[in-house]
Amino acid sequence: MIPRYARKEAADIWSPQTRFKIMFEIEAHAADKMAELGVIPKLAAQTIWEKGRDAIWDADRIDEIEREVKHDVIAFLTHVTEIVGPEARFLHQGMTSSDVNDTALAVQLSRATDLLIDDVDMVLTALKRRAFEHRLTPTVGRSHAIHAEPTTFGLKLAGHYAEFQRAKERLAMAKFEIATCAISGAVGTFANVAPEVEAHVAEQLGLAVEPVSTQVIPRDRHAAYFAALGVVASSIERLATEIRHLQRTEVLEAEEPFEVGQKGSSAMPHKRNPILTENLTGLARLIRSAVVPAMENVTLWHERDISHSSVERGIAPDATVHLDFALRRLAGVVERLVIYPENMLKNMDRLGGLVHSQRVMLALTQKGVARETAYASVQGAAMKVWRGEGLFIDLLLADETVTLSEAEIRDLFDLGYHFKNVDVIFARVFGQEAMAMAKAAE
């Protein structure tokens, strides 16, 4: 985990203290049910909670024990005995280490995903506000980074909004995938621990019961989880890249907030660089790098091997914490993005009306000209514009094969024509209600 890309709230989920607390609770909840089932004394379960509920677990001490026994859960349980006393011997009856480890991981990943969903909500809120703010702000649509036809800046943002709605659903689904509890013993047979224990712990922790586990919760779940994070990271990269393009000197249609006191370059005092979105681009690569190892983790041998463990010690905190950071950073950038509508118009005019070439062609076909011929006429005029040989409209007027009057042509150059369906799309994306509210506020 890279500290500078970690919010405390997210990083804390992965602290040893948090983990030990969750592990204790799993064991203690299990003890409750075992006590109820008569497997261990009720008093033992009670004492365990009393002594352990608010305990501060000593990570260094646990490390010290682990160096001897070379087993993390045994080290933890040994330390629990030091804190809780002899009743601790009733803990972990019939359970196996993975019962604790995997269920703890499920709790941690669930909490991390809750944060991520909140983060996406912040991105959505920012996108929605700015989308409505610029619902009808004209800007050029670009395919291949070449001017295509007019669109609105709000429509651009609406597209990203819809993508982050999908991101939210993917995260919800990802949480559903990994939020399961397994307390099924050494090879998943419940030989020495009753299924009721598992059900009880699952309920207490807000998890589903894993229908069938081996020694571990199956890792296809985690593969699907990290894959979902990788897709969300890619959506961040798309929006970040859009902003980077819009901020480039020659375009400057939007710009990241630049703070008082900020310095863009150690060498060049004039610089204002889109460093936040470039950073998001890099973080997207990092987060995506969790996907393949998570998939390679699926193939554990037989009832489990432990090769997945080191991988998850890396990717579980790193991918969730960095994604949390990235989403927050993105929300901030969108919220405070400086937008230059006048530059959008200026850029759109750069090609002198070429963005209307399709309308001219279609108008010609409506007049009975064959599509191929109409295309050739309009392309001919357009290529002259590219070569700097005149304005598009003049060239069209001078072209005999363009059988349109000047009034007709001028009419085809109307910007508003392109925005007639913006509200239809907004209603699809944000809902009729949001549209009505926006209209009312205008």
Residues classed as catalytic: 144, 265
User: Which phi and psi angles does 168 have, rounded to 5°?
Assistant: -65, -45
Residue 10 touching a second copy (CB under 8 A)? no
- What's the CA gap between 399 and 382, in Å, rounded? 12
* Smaller CB separation from a second copy, 118 or 296: 296
Binding marks (x or -) toward a second copy, 394..433, rule CB under 8 A? -----------------------xxxxxx-xx--xx----
Provide the minimum distance between the beta carbon of 352 and a second copy in the complex, in angstroms, as a whole number: 10
- Which tokens is 259 given? 């703070």
Q: Are the C-beta atoms of 358 and 152 separated by less than 8 Å? A: no
Binding marks (x or -) toward a second copy, 70..89, rule CB under 8 A? xx-xx--xx--x----x-xx
* Smaller CB separation from a second copy, 115 or 351: 351
Window contacting a second copy (CB under 8 A); options: 102-110, 119-127, 240-248, 396-404: 240-248
Provide the minimum distance between the beta carbon of 292 and a second copy in the complex, in angstroms, as a whole number: 6
Work out the end-to-end distance of the chain between its first and last CA atoms, rounded to an integer number of angstroms. Answer: 46
3-state secondary structure of 208: strand
Residue 171 touching a second copy (CB under 8 A)? no
Distance of CA 95 to the CA centre of its chain: 35
Provide the minimum distance between the beta carbon of 6 and a second copy in the complex, in angstroms, as a whole number: 11
Q: What is the DSSP letter of 143?
A: E
* Smaller CB separation from a second copy, 49 or 141: 141
Q: Residues 247, 324, 328, 402: which binds a second copy (CB under 8 A)?
A: 247
Which residue is it, tokens 């889109």? Answer: 274
Using the CB atoms, write b or e for 351-378: b if 16+ within 10 Å.
Answer: bebbbbbebbbebbeeeebeeeebbebb
Q: Residues 110, 137, 297, 320: which binds a second copy (CB under 8 A)?
A: 297
Which residue is it, tokens 């009729």? Answer: 432
Residue 97 touching a second copy (CB under 8 A)? yes
> In the range 248-277, which residues lie near a second copy by CB under 8 A?
248-251, 259, 261-275
- Which tokens is 350 given? 């750069």
Residue 221 touching a second copy (CB under 8 A)? yes
Calculate ∠ Cα 177-231-281, nearest 5°. 140
- What's the CA gap between 129 and 400, in Å, rounded? 48
> In the range 349-378, which residues lie near a second copy by CB under 8 A?
350-351, 354-355, 357-359, 361-362, 365, 370-372, 375-376, 378
Q: How many residues bind a second copy (CB under 8 A)?
A: 166
Q: Are the C-beta atoms of 16 and 59 separated by less than 8 Å? A: yes
> In the range 180-199, which residues lie near a second copy by CB under 8 A?
185-192, 195
Window contacting a second copy (CB under 8 A); options: 17-25, 46-54, 310-318, 403-411: 310-318
Residue 387 touching a second copy (CB under 8 A)? no
Q: What is the DSSP letter of 392?
A: H
Strand ranges inside 98-163, DSSP E: 138-143, 146-152
Provide the minimum distance between the beta carbon of 131 and a second copy in the complex, in angstroms, as a whole number: 10
- What's the CA gap between 222 and 294, in Å, rounded? 7
Identity of the amino acid at 186: A
Q: How many angstroms separate the most distant Cα atoms in the chain? A: 100
Residue 49 touching a second copy (CB under 8 A)? no
Residue 42 touching a second copy (CB under 8 A)? no
> In the range 332-351, which residues lie near a second copy by CB under 8 A?
347, 350-351
* Smaller CB separation from a second copy, 54 or 369: 369
- What's the CA gap between 393 and 353, in Å, rounded? 7
Residue 108 touching a second copy (CB under 8 A)? no
Residue 46 touching a second copy (CB under 8 A)? no
Q: Residues 41, 85, 293, 332: which binds a second copy (CB under 8 A)?
A: 293
Residue 94 touching a second copy (CB under 8 A)? yes
Q: Residues 19, 111, 134, 244: which binds a second copy (CB under 8 A)?
A: 244
- Which tokens is 375 given? 């295309």
Residue 438 touching a second copy (CB under 8 A)? no
Distance of CA 359 to the CA centre of its chain: 38
